[in-house]
Amino acid sequence: MKHLILIVLGFSIYACSDAGKSANDEPKKPTVIPRYEKSLVIAYYTQDSLKDGFTYYKREDQAVTKKQKAFEAEMKRRSKELEDYVRRNDEKARSGLLSQNEIMSIQQKAQQMEQELMQYQQTQGAKLEEESVKKLETITKKIETLGKMYCEKNGIDILLIHGPGGQLNFINEKMNVTADFIRFLNDNQASIEKDLK
């Protein structure tokens, strides 16, 4: 009988400890308080469309692209000039038309031309890069400022940017305000021109 009482008592203790254990082992869920207002208005615009539709963006991008092409053309011209100089004088040297002094002088000039080319690439390339970054910052400031004005005017609480590689996997097309936002940007960008300089 003592054994039976001990077995029953042991089983009861085991059952109680197991029950308490399973209640405490459950992972606790974070307390999330949903904050949803039925009047919350969310809209988005496609980022790629701004480059094509926002006149200021297009103009600034074309100016940078034009300078980039001019820089590349000048690099190509200088590289070709160096290559032609080396090739022309290499042919003369092989034909035995140049003295040792002339060859040394030609090599020095070729090295100088190469250094000038590298210097031009570094300084002008850096200037072009800096100018591009500044223009992009100005464009971004304009879009942010005008985006705020657009949202206030149209009662939009959140204006998202949608584009390839972005953070939005899907957003309903009904929320797309791209065409209207671009029209607003073009109509109002001149009004904030002086504020952003």
Averaged pLDDT in 10-residue chunks for the chain of 197 residues: 43 50 57 64 91 92 94 96 94 90 93 95 95 92 93 92 83 90 90 64
Helix (H) / strand (E) element for 141: namely helix 100-154
Per-residue pLDDT at 165: 77
Q: For position 35, what pLDDT does the model report?
A: 57
Residues 134 and 64: beta-carbon distance below 8 Å: no
For 31-81, what is the HEC assignment?
CCCCCCCCCCCEEEEEHHHHHHHCHHHHHHHHHHHHHHHHHHHHHHHHHHH
pLDDT reported for residue 190: 82
